[in-house]
Amino acid sequence: MKAFSLNEYKNGQLKAGLQNSDNFAPLPLPMQVPEKYFDSLESEILKKTVEANAMPGFNPALLPQSLPFTVPADYFSRLESEVLKKTSEAIEPALSLKAENIFTVPEGYWDHLLLRIMERIRKPETAWGRALRFLNAPLPKYSFAGGLALSVAVFVYMLAPVSTADNLNDVSDKDIVAYLEQNMNADITDEISAVAAQSPNTKSLSWQSQLKGKLSDKKADIEAELTE
Amino acid sequence: MEDHEILEKFAAEDTRNYAFNMLVRKYRQRVYWHIRKMVIDHDDSNDLTQDVFIKVWNNLGNFRSDSQLFTWIYRIATNECLTFLNRKRRKFFIPMHDVEAELSDKLGSSDQISGDDIQLKLQKAILKLPEKQRLVFNMKYFDDLKYEDMSEILGTSVGALKASYHLAVKKIEAYMTGT
B116, pLDDT greater than 80: no
Candidates B33, B118, B144; nearest CB to A94: B118
CA-nearest of B106, B132, B133 to B45 is: B106
pLDDT in tens, A111-121: 888 888 888 88
pLDDT at A64: 47
Q: For chain A, list residues whose CB is within 8 angstroms of any CB belonging to chain B.
A: 91-95, 97, 99-106, 109-110, 113-114, 116-118, 120-121
Three-point CA angle B167, B173, B177, nearest 5°: 150
Residue A163: band (very low, low, confident or very high) from pLDDT cuts 50, 70, 90? low
B22, pLDDT greater than 80: yes
Chain B residues in contact with A118 by the CB 8 A cut-off are 17, 21
Averaged pLDDT of chain A: 66
pLDDT in tens, B58-101: 888 888 877 889 999 999 999 999 999 988 877 655 555 577 77
Largest alpha-carbon pair distance within chain B?
60
Three-point CA angle A10, A12, A13, nearest 5°: 65
Distance from the A67 Cα atom to the nearest Cα atom in chain B, whole angstroms: 42
Residue A19: band (very low, low, confident or very high) from pLDDT cuts 50, 70, 90? very low
Which chain A residue shows the shortest CA-CA distance from B173?
A92
User: Picking from B55-64, B83-92, B133-142, B151-160, which range would have the lowest pLDDT averaged per residue?
Assistant: B83-92
Chain A residues in contact with B114 by the CB 8 A cut-off are 102-104
Q: For chain B, list residues whose CB is within 8 angstroms of any CB belonging to chain A.
A: 17, 21, 24-25, 28-29, 32-33, 36-37, 40, 42, 46, 49-50, 53-54, 57, 112-115, 118-123, 125, 141-142, 144, 169, 172-173, 176-177
Which chain A residue shows the shortest CA-CA distance from B36?
A103
- The fraction of chain B above a pLDDT of 70, given in percent, is 93
B168 and B129 Cβ atoms separated by less than 8 Å: yes
How far, in Å, CA of B63 to CA of B69, rounded?
8
- A9-13, A60-64, A188-192: which is most confident: A188-192
HEC profile of chain B: CCHHHHHHHHHCHHHHHHHHHHHHHHHHHHHHHHHHHHHCCHHHHHHHHHHHHHHHHHHHHHCCCCCCHHHHHHHHHHHHHHHHHHHHHCHHHCCCCCHHHHHHHHHHHCCCECCCHHHHHHHHHHHCCCHHHHHHHHHHHHCCCCHHHHHHHHCCCHHHHHHHHHHHHHHHHHHHHCC
What residues pair up with A103 in beta bridges, in sequence order?
B113
How far, in Å, CA of A145 to CA of A134, rounded?
14
What residues pair up with B113 in beta bridges, in sequence order?
A103
- The fraction of chain B above a pLDDT of 90, given in percent, is 37
Q: Under an 8 A CB cutoff, do A95 and B176 touch? A: yes
Chain B residues in contact with A141 by the CB 8 A cut-off are none
Coil vs helix vs strand at A31? coil
Give this complex's ipTM: 0.71
CA-nearest of B162, B113, B159 to B139 is: B162
b/e per residue, B125-159, with b = 16+ CB within 10 A? bbbebebbbbbbbbbbbeeebebebbbbbbebeee
At A103, give phi and psi (nearest 5°): -90, 150
pLDDT in tens, A51-86: 554 545 545 455 444 555 666 777 667 666 666 665
A192 and A168 Cβ atoms separated by less than 8 Å: yes
B28 C-beta neighbours (distance < 10 Å), count: 19
A163 and A191 Cβ atoms separated by less than 8 Å: no
- Give the count of Cβ contacts less than 8 A between chain A and B: 76
Coil vs helix vs strand at A34? coil
pLDDT at A5: 52
Which chain A residue shows the shortest CA-CA distance from B114?
A102
Residue A8: band (very low, low, confident or very high) from pLDDT cuts 50, 70, 90? low
Candidates A95, A100, A120; nearest CB to B115: A100
Q: Under an 8 A CB cutoff, do B36 and A103 touch? A: yes
What residues pair up with A116 in beta bridges, in sequence order?
none
Q: Under an 8 A CB cutoff, do B119 and A114 touch? A: no
How far, in Å, CA of B175 to CA of B126, rounded?
9
pTM (whole model) above 0.80: no
Chain A residues in contact with B176 by the CB 8 A cut-off are 92-95
pLDDT in tens, A91-110: 445 455 556 677 888 888 88
pLDDT at B87: 86
Distance from the first to the final alpha carbon of chain A: 110
